[in-house]
Chains A and B, each alone.
Chain A
Amino acid sequence: MPVRVSLRARHRNMRMKKMAAPKSSSAEAPSAEALSSRLEELPVGSDRIEELSDTENEYEDIGTITQAEQAHIDYLESVTIPIRDEPETESSKAQREAFEDIRPFLEGNPNDFPLNIFGLPKLQREKHAAFLKSALGDYPSKFAPMDAARPWLLYWSLQGLTALGCDISEYREQVTHTFSMAAYPTGGYGGGYGQYPHLAATYAAVLSLTIVGGTDAYESINRRAMWHFLGQMKQPDGGFTMAPGGEEDIRGAYCGLVVLSLLNLPLSLPPDAPARKHGLTTFLDKLGAWVSSCQTFEGGLSAAPGNEAHGAYAFCGLACLSIMGPPKATLPKHIDLPRLIHWMSYRQCAPEGGYNGRTNKLVDGCYSHWIGGCWALAEAATGRALWNRPALGRYILAAAQFEDGGLVDKPGKRPDGYHSCYNIAGLSHVQHNYVYDEAESGAGSVLLDAPWRWKTQGRYQGDVLWGEDDVVGQVHPIFVTPWGAAEECRKYFEAKEGF
């Protein structure tokens, strides 16, 4: 039976419903300077919707709320920390205001999505797929600031689409072609034709080619040149720079190892690698210690030694270590694991259920992957269940789906490929189990073979909040590609003689 609800609560819901109404159709050009070299924090235009004035006549529609809504309200209450966080400062004010925007989506259904049997919005598969497909199409001129980030646009869409169950083979030829134009003659990929090679672009390119797969895509990669390019990025202190003359940070360590491992490249440094002059001989030299130096007093990992612990960098560091060897061995060897897990746990926002990237920052859908993806690695190292998966699933389904398709940082923000890809990946981490097959490890004859020892182990069996229709595909915990695609790519190159 429907129950009455307080005028205030209902008013809030009504108002949010109007706030979320379709806005101007012209897509805001993201001021996305960050895209090309950033794995996080996409700047989004300040298109937060104006709050409606109270003079508008909304009170007439005060009605009842459903049982499902009441259950959501009760749930939120039950996971709210019952201690007032005072006094107010800039941060807590921002938190309070953000939660006002998010709350109606966690309590009700302002987007009028069809609901699953748990009363949560169903995964809007078709809408998201349409959004991601359109993101592969042409962009108007105001998107010029994305010119160096086009490899990312491809990767986010392709990864998102495959996780949604879409067939992307129609793009295979175009993907291969697009990257053949972005390949740098001396190795690696840039953002586009004539651009310097960059490890972020290279990572997005190699993963995109892995996702579409096939001999033509694989063979389009100049592996020998790639090996030399990576050799140029390796630094005397063990880390990797992102580009020649570019910054050294933990993304480089992850992106570099992903490429080495996927393409089955030699672990020894090329003869012309500058780090050889400093006594280094392999890509792994000093790398574990370098990643270790990024762990901060809070327990999380930072971009580079001394910087603040941050969700996206934490994933890069853990995934890098998990390529170097079995997580059970490499994580405790290079990381203070209890402190890391402590910090990761605190990234889950209460009561929102989604993650933030840093202490006292706001919940943001992209960390559904950056932190959500760390858990499989941490659980492989500890052998224990550590995190609240239903709460994250709830945030993604209820608060991160945009009315017209695509997924968002939080309600009130515009969708983009980045937040779509990583929310969907986060939902996958929530729904699927992966285990590291310890039995096989150690027996491996090939170096950097740790990423190939993961096995899927069915679905999460706890308090599920999603129906069969809401389940997305399995994603490789290290490479963030559709399950099986990375394996195919590696197998192809293992079977090849030389470069």
Chain B
Amino acid sequence: MAPKFYHDDPVWADIDPLPQDDGGLHPLAAINYTDEYSEAMGYLRAVMANNEFSKRILELTEHVISLNPAHYTVWLYRAKTLFEINAPLRDEIEWLNPTALKHLKNYQIWHHRQTVIEALGSPDGEADFIDSMLEHDSKNYHVWSYRQWLVKRFDLFEGKGELEWTEQMVEQDLRNNSAWNHRWFLVIGGRDGRALDEETFKREMDFAKRLVRKAPQNQSSWNYLRGLARHANSTSALKDFALEFADLSRPDEIHSSHALDLLADILATEEDQKEEARQALDLLATRYDPIRAYYWNYRKGLLEQPGAVA
């Protein structure tokens, strides 16, 4: 694309650009801006100083964003402008979609999108757009965080197959921890402490157990399972399940270090099982997860303290 300039553009003839001021000394980490970037920024500083909010600001900020999408100031000023001039917000979303796909790792764009969608008051089309982002990067932190905001803001906990969607995401890659976290958010985390009903709890336990069986060494599914059980104060009920993968009487046939870890926790709470708990932790420290030996030994130390369980 050919560089765009303002000084010979009659639309901008009323503006005296404010050039970059580096003061007297040469600054550190100075960027040798292109003439195009310098000039666009000079005009932006000038209109910001005038508190100008108008249609041409949208063009100017779009231009600067195309040159530097990480410029939070430009995004914030653009958002202000949108609201000051009552710009059509659907158009903004239409413009944001390809822009986001072009700058996948960009941070500011998600906050901007959130601001616009909040004002629009409708989540229509957002789920599809998020899907297309996750196709490029299935663990993008901002995209998932945005989805959580969306679910909460528009109360999508039950609606439009949100739960089925996470199931699909988890099935696609059962190690995608972001998908597991979103599921937790839907079922428990986002619901402001509302109690988990019996049926949902059972459904989620079954879901997690099924996926643990599919990949017994997958940390994500174990974390989810343990989180659920802890939430329902029923960790000790997982003992038989843990034993399926880690039977202390057959120390050569451990199928999951996470099962050993959980088992050690459960045994630590039981009467007269401290020795077994110690054995599980020893197996972890010496054979099945030795890089964390310091941690396992710390856990062994806790066994001596009454009532202290990890």
B67 near A144 with CB under 8 A, answer yes
Query: B290 on the interface (CB 8 Å rule)?
Result: yes
Query: A54 on the interface (CB 8 Å rule)?
Result: no
Interface-central residue, B41, B111, B174, B176, by most chain A CB under 10 Å: B111
A91 near B29 with CB under 8 A, answer no
| A73: chain B residues within 8 A (beta carbon) | none
B37 near A154 with CB under 8 A, answer no
| B22: chain A residues within 8 A (beta carbon) | 181, 193
- B114 → chain A, closest Cβ, in Å? 8
B29 near A137 with CB under 8 A, answer yes
How far, in whole Å, are A194 and B18 apart by their CA atoms in the complex? 9
How far, in whole Å, are A140 and B185 apart by their CA atoms in the complex? 44
B107 near A34 with CB under 8 A, answer yes
| B21: chain A residues within 8 A (beta carbon) | 181, 193-194
Query: A41 on the interface (CB 8 Å rule)?
Result: yes
Check A304/B145 contact, CB under 8 A, given A90-B173, A177-B24: yes
| A245: chain B residues within 8 A (beta carbon) | 76, 79-80, 115
How far, in whole Å, are A144 and B71 apart by their CA atoms in the complex? 9
Check A348/B103 contact, CB under 8 A, given A36-B72, A141-B37, A359-B220: no
How far, in whole Å, are A453 and B88 apart by their CA atoms in the complex? 55
B27 near A387 with CB under 8 A, answer no
Query: A360 on the interface (CB 8 Å rule)?
Result: yes
B184 near A296 with CB under 8 A, answer yes
Interface 9-residue window, one of B55-63, B90-98, B123-131, B210-218: B210-218
Query: B254 on the interface (CB 8 Å rule)?
Result: yes
Query: B11 on the interface (CB 8 Å rule)?
Result: no
Partner of B28 from A78, A89, A149, A178 at Cβ < 8 Å: A178
A83 near B291 with CB under 8 A, answer no
**A86-100 contacts to B (CB < 8 Å):** 86-87, 89-92
B291 near A353 with CB under 8 A, answer yes
Query: B295 on the interface (CB 8 Å rule)?
Result: yes
Query: A369 on the interface (CB 8 Å rule)?
Result: no
Query: A341 on the interface (CB 8 Å rule)?
Result: yes
Interface-central residue, B148, B220, B298, by most chain A CB under 10 Å: B298
Partner of B181 from A78, A157, A308, A384 at Cβ < 8 Å: A308
Interface 9-residue window, one of B136-144, B158-166, B236-244, B269-277: B136-144
A298 near B29 with CB under 8 A, answer no
Partner of B68 from A43, A89, A148, A177 at Cβ < 8 Å: A148
Query: B309 on the interface (CB 8 Å rule)?
Result: yes
A83 near B72 with CB under 8 A, answer no
| A479: chain B residues within 8 A (beta carbon) | none
Partner of B309 from A90, A149, A338 at Cβ < 8 Å: A338
What count of chain A residues pass the 8 Å CB interface test?
Answer: 95
Query: A59 on the interface (CB 8 Å rule)?
Result: no
Interface 9-residue window, one of A16-24, A168-176, A421-429: A168-176
| B144: chain A residues within 8 A (beta carbon) | 307-308
Partner of A33 from B69, B188, B220 at Cβ < 8 Å: B69
Query: B26 on the interface (CB 8 Å rule)?
Result: yes
- B135 → chain A, closest Cβ, in Å? 11
What count of chain B residues pass the 8 Å CB interface test?
Answer: 94
Q: Residue-by-residue, is A13-46 near B (CB-CB < 8 Å gives 1, otherwise 0)?
A: 0000000000000000001111111100101000
How far, in whole Å, are A247 and B107 apart by their CA atoms in the complex? 10
Partner of B105 from A41, A143, A243, A307 at Cβ < 8 Å: A41
Query: B54 on the interface (CB 8 Å rule)?
Result: no
B28 near A360 with CB under 8 A, answer no
Q: Residue-by-residue, is A235-259 near B (CB-CB < 8 Å gives 1, otherwise 0)?
A: 0000000011111000000000000
| A496: chain B residues within 8 A (beta carbon) | none
A37 near B72 with CB under 8 A, answer yes
A385 near B294 with CB under 8 A, answer yes
Query: B200 on the interface (CB 8 Å rule)?
Result: no
B70 near A171 with CB under 8 A, answer no
Check A34/B70 contact, CB under 8 A, given A306-B148, A386-B295: yes
A310 near B37 with CB under 8 A, answer no
| B148: chain A residues within 8 A (beta carbon) | 306-307
How far, in whole Å, are A118 and B31 apart by their CA atoms in the complex? 42
How far, in whole Å, are A231 and B106 apart by their CA atoms in the complex? 27
A360 near B76 with CB under 8 A, answer no
Check A146/B291 contact, CB under 8 A, given A89-B174, A194-B41: no
Q: Residue-by-residue, is B246-257 near A (CB-CB < 8 Å gives 1, otherwise 0)?
A: 000000001111
A171 near B289 with CB under 8 A, answer no
| A305: chain B residues within 8 A (beta carbon) | 189
**B179-212 contacts to A (CB < 8 Å):** 180-181, 184-185, 188-190
A243 near B70 with CB under 8 A, answer no
| A349: chain B residues within 8 A (beta carbon) | 291
B24 closest partner in A (C-beta): A177
How far, in whole Å, are A245 and B79 apart by their CA atoms in the complex? 9
How far, in whole Å, are A78 and B290 apart by their CA atoms in the complex? 8
Partner of A181 from B27, B70, B190, B214 at Cβ < 8 Å: B27
B48 near A194 with CB under 8 A, answer yes
- A406 → chain B, closest Cβ, in Å? 15
Give me the 9 closest cross-chain CB pairs, A-B, nearest first: A297-B227, A33-B70, A91-B175, A43-B105, A345-B295, A359-B177, A153-B29, A308-B181, A33-B106
Instruction: Pick 6 A–B contacts, CB within 8 A, sort by A.
Output: A89-B173, A150-B29, A177-B24, A191-B73, A193-B20, A194-B44
Given contacts A90-B173, A145-B68, A298-B181, 19 further A-B contacts (CB under 8 A): A37-B108, A83-B257, A90-B175, A144-B33, A147-B70, A148-B73, A149-B70, A150-B27, A150-B29, A174-B28, A177-B24, A195-B72, A243-B76, A297-B231, A298-B223, A338-B310, A359-B177, A359-B219, A388-B291
